Amino acid sequence: MIGWAETMKMRTLLIVMLVPLFVTLQACGSWWLPRPHKIVIQQGNLLSTEDIAKITVGMSQAAVQTILGDPLTSNHINPDRWEYIYTYNRAGKTPKVKRLSLVFRNLEVAEIEKDGLVENADS
């Protein structure tokens, strides 16, 4: 018959052996264990396709600022170029970058450049 002291020693030994095993398996993130949390980082100007569609050549800077807000960056060398940049980065994935660049001449939109933006709302 096993005594109380031997039972406690066996339980302690079992716990000492199993805890590191489970911690190691947890770090691997196998299918039956919860996975570590992946951080999502969103930065910049999140613009809706409806707001982007409202911007047209010939529109004033004030009208653009009313619709889209302030640009993400201010360029002191070329103040006539406004950049609206949005990045979406999930750990372990390639970051998605969307950029709307507006070039102004005489305080009106002269050029619109879209990079990574969907052209229509259906897509």
Q: Which residues lie closer than 8 Å to 41 by C-beta, 6 or more apart?
A: 87, 88, 89, 90
What residues form DSSP beta bridges with 99?
A: 85, 115
Percent of residues, the chain, with pLDDT higher than 70: 84
Which secondary structure element, helix H or strand E, spans residue 67, and what is its range? helix 61-68
- Please name the fold of domain 40-115: Beta-lactamase Inhibitory Protein; Chain:B, domain 1 (3.30.1450)
Between these two residues, 123 and 114, which has the higher pLDDT value? 114
pLDDT in tens, 55-73: 999 999 999 999 999 887 7
How far apart, in whole angstroms, are the C-alpha atoms of residue 68 and residue 47?
7
| DSSP assignments along 29-52, one per residue | T-TTSPPPPPPEEEEE----HHHH
Going by the DSSP 8-state scheme, the letter that residue 77 receives in this structure is S
pLDDT at 30 over 60: no
Please identify which residue in the block is written with the tokens 């031997």.
Answer: 6
Domain locations in the chain?
1-36, 40-115
pTM exceeding 0.75: no
